[in-house]
Chain A
């Protein structure tokens, strides 16, 4: 299949970017990233600068890939990361627009690569349970109700890619934040730091320049792990009750 690519090229964060056009010959069995590999091999053989994009595991779990394809983070296929998207989702002769995740808190590093350090800082602000190594009780000493555990796992499946931010008109990271808040709030182990956690993480979320949720639900629609927006509802409840109930509210 013959494709026309309109790829966002940007040297670094200080320079202006623009779309550039490329022609590429692909097979329908290729993954989207393998199609970009073909483009890059072609650019390199012509001594040109290849397109920089993040990728690693190429099996949909590391969360590295970060591109918007024809206006959708991770492209047209539901519940799929870019690396698992295959060219059979496109047609011969298609023109495909490829750009980086766009958000104020995700500055572009080069071409399709963005800086997502803000996510680590949100986790640093409380996205954990404060236990040191050793001295923990036997695994079965903490029974967890099965359905509750299932809900916690649903939230914990978040891969931290940032598609939710890229999809949101407010560039909100509340789906990401709520996934971690929910995962830990739903488990008895997370109970002790429940209030402190949600306050700390949301404070950091706002400081990073992410917007607040206004129920557009684009994040849920584009999430490659189909993390539910009900987690944001839970985050809001947790936040509200912590804000009212806590004396530590700044």
Chain B
């Protein structure tokens, strides 16, 4: 299969503008007759469904939640990037483009990333008009902060709830279209298969999660906005319901899964505390502005801490290893996410971890408290303040900046982070890989589009902070409403599709058989127990660092686990009722295949880049070593049959505007 990215010709900066003005359109009278299915109501799905509804298409929108507002975009904390240059600090569309390409370790498509940077400015305008309460300056203008190591302030934010506020903006726009009748909303419906007719995407099979009934829904095209697959690791910062099923079902119908091994491990999350743990909680990247990361330099101190005989505060300054500052003097604690995560793992693997499991490091605010305290004492005119006074003032200053995060930390761990250093460890957070799409965000199945985290397109091998919200909304508000015309303009004479057609009935029967098959296993182990075991395999062998031997072993283990699953899983209840265990079982079944493909992709990519670190490919100092000569391509996988090896298709990445360089943070 020859993969055509359909990148329009012309200069990088003019591609999108020219393409947009020459793209085929669908006239308003025809839009009214064309039906569009949108699956997912996060930032990408809600914004796409609302905008397509405004344009006059007949939209059917699906969510497995009880309300579109609960999609996991709601949990994004930090902010959204946009090249507004409101701070007059030298930002530009090109600079945002360049930072994103470089941050992605040169493994994304130049044209897509440039378009993302171009429309970033429109997103802010749109969100403000909708009433998103972004942070403001006293003069009434929008406030910005810096994020993720870049050198400009381009991140817009609404306290620590930027994702919530942007999602509510999109949700309200969507609810408005629902009230106007342009969008029909199907809450508590889960897409379980794609229906193709003559090779084109024409509908879905969805399960009504309240009744268990399978429904056939037809349309002229299908748009997926179903999020990432981080929950393949069981423990992640994703919501409990986040899953790969819609994405994996289309792969089984012939769509390609691109770069599945590119996963983002976020360095600052609350460590795992026990076997019962169900999810991990992120502590915002912004904390690394003031927190210093360290482990005890002496192993015996680490052991004493793990056994509860010592505490972090008992370790003398000289016996602490501030390893990020030691290894990366130029960037220190503010190295990018992938670098910080790996460094934590290295220290813990050497035996310096500071929580009972061995997997944890300190994020310490003691210095920041003293620094802010002294500064506050000075500005209050206090001469010779004692240490207690400085600490008091310093804690107040830190509280003002990070109070909500400190409170959340204390709620979860029961420890006071003002008095004791925070304990943190990396956790799975985001997946850069996803369904392969061309410049139009169309998959290799005509009429099937993929937006937001569920596609692979913009972040390469590592995503920068505050860029996920940007991409979701760019795709939904400003890209798909245009590019869908390239497909739909040829469909204006196509009559409505009949959901009673054979293709629909066959697909429905397949889904029914699959679900009944799961119910009929009647084994002895819970769905959750299989998911947990899969997660452990993935984290151990396909997590922060990988090697050929481990990946090969993991693939074998996953296959065995899958076999065991189909022999021994137990699902209570029946297929024809509200049954959360059956929902989970269908998702875990798909994770059990996706996980294997991730290992396969990681094994096949004999280089280290971004979030993908292969131990065999590193510099003498232990840093990631890319192989641009052999691996500057998108690995798009075709999954033919579960018993056969997937087939690799390559899309070469062409860099015409940026020079490929080694990322260095020393």
Bind each other: yes
On chain A, the residues within 8 Å of B240 by CB distance are 55-58
Known contacts A41-B526, A117-B187; is-contact A160 B69 (Cβ 8 Å): yes
Instruction: Classify chain B's interface size.
Output: 35 or more
CB pair B276–A153 under 8 Å, yes or no, is no
Question: Contact between B408 and A84 (Cβ–Cβ < 8 Å)?
Answer: yes
> Do A124 and B175 touch across chains, with their CB atoms under 8 A apart?
yes
Q: Is the CB of B50 within 8 A of A56?
A: no
Chain A residues with CB under 8 Å of B573's CB are: 49
Closest Cβ of chain A to B131, distance in Å, is: 5
Q: Verify A109–B578 contact, CB threshold 8 A.
A: yes
Residue of B nearest to A186 (CB): B133
Q: Are A86 and B126 in contact (CB under 8 A)?
A: no
Contact assessment for B75 and A59 in the assembled complex, using a CB-CB cutoff below 8 Å:
yes
The yes or no answer to B615 lying at the interface (CB within 8 A) is: no
Per-residue 0/1 for A99-130: is the Cβ within 8 Å of any B Cβ (1 yes, 0 no)?
Answer: 00000000001100101110110011101111
Q: Which chain B positions have C-beta within 8 A of A146?
A: 136-138, 140
The interface-forming segment of A61-69, A165-173, A237-245 is A61-69
User: Could you tell me the distance between the alpha carbons of A41 and B159 in the complex, rounded to whole angstroms?
Assistant: 37
Q: In the complex, which residue of chain B has the Cβ closest to the Cβ of A131?
A: B129
* B379 interface hit (Cβ, 8 Å): no
Q: Mark B165-201, 1 if CB is under 8 A from A, else 0.
A: 1001001110110110000010100000000000000
Say yes or no: B276 contacts A63, CB within 8 Å: no
Q: Which residue of A lies closest to B407 (CB)?
A: A79
CB < 8 Å: which of A31, A124, A189 contacts B128? A189
Question: Which segment, of A14-22, A32-40, A214-222, A228-236, faces chain B?
Answer: A32-40
Contact with A along B527-542 (1 / 0, CB 8 A): 0110000000000000
Contact B122 A134 (CB under 8 A): yes
Q: A29-B414, A80-B411, A128-B172 are in contact. Are A149 and B75 (CB under 8 A)?
A: no
Q: Which residue of B lies closest to A47 (CB)?
A: B572
Number of interface residues of A (CB under 8 A): 76
Q: Are B414 and A156 in contact (CB under 8 A)?
A: no
Q: Is the CB of A137 within 8 A of B276?
A: no
> Within the complex, which residue of B50, B142, B273, B412 is in contact with A140, where a contact is CB–CB below 8 Å?
B142
Asked if A52 is at the interface of the complex by the 8 Å CB criterion, the answer is: yes
How near does chain B come to A143, taking the closest CB pair, in angstroms? 3
Interface of A is mostly: loop
Contact B210 A109 (CB under 8 A): yes
A88 at the interface (CB under 8 A from B): yes
Is A62 in contact with B50, judged by CB distance below 8 angstroms? no
Contact A86 B412 (CB under 8 A): yes
* A184 vs B142: C-alpha distance when bound (angstroms): 17
CB proximity to B under 8 Å, residues A193-231: none
Given A125-B179, A145-B140, A136 contacting B126 (CB threshold 8 A)? yes
A149 cross-chain contacts in B, Cβ below 8 A: 133-136
Tell me if A5 counts as interface (CB < 8 A to partner B). Answer: no
In the complex, which residues of chain A have a beta carbon less than 8 angstroms from the beta carbon of B165?
153, 156
In the bound complex, residues from chain A placing their C-beta under 8 Å from that of B413 are 29
Q: Can you offer 30 A-B residue contacts whose CB atoms are under 8 A?
A: A12-B578, A28-B414, A29-B273, A37-B278, A37-B528, A43-B572, A44-B526, A47-B570, A56-B240, A56-B241, A57-B72, A57-B75, A58-B278, A59-B75, A61-B164, A62-B72, A62-B75, A62-B239, A64-B66, A86-B411, A86-B414, A117-B67, A123-B172, A128-B172, A130-B176, A133-B47, A149-B134, A156-B168, A187-B131, A189-B128
Known contacts A45-B526, A133-B50; can you find 10 more A-B pairs with CB under 8 A? A50-B580, A57-B74, A58-B240, A58-B279, A64-B66, A117-B66, A120-B67, A120-B175, A128-B175, A183-B131
The interface of chain B, by Cβ under 8 A from chain A, is 47, 50-51, 54, 65-70, 72, 74-75, 84, 86, 122, 124-131, 133-142, 158-159, 161, 164-165, 168, 171-173, 175-176, 178-179, 185, 187, 210, 239-241, 273-274, 276-279, 281-282, 408, 411-414, 477-478, 481, 524, 526, 528-529, 570, 572-573, 578, 580-581
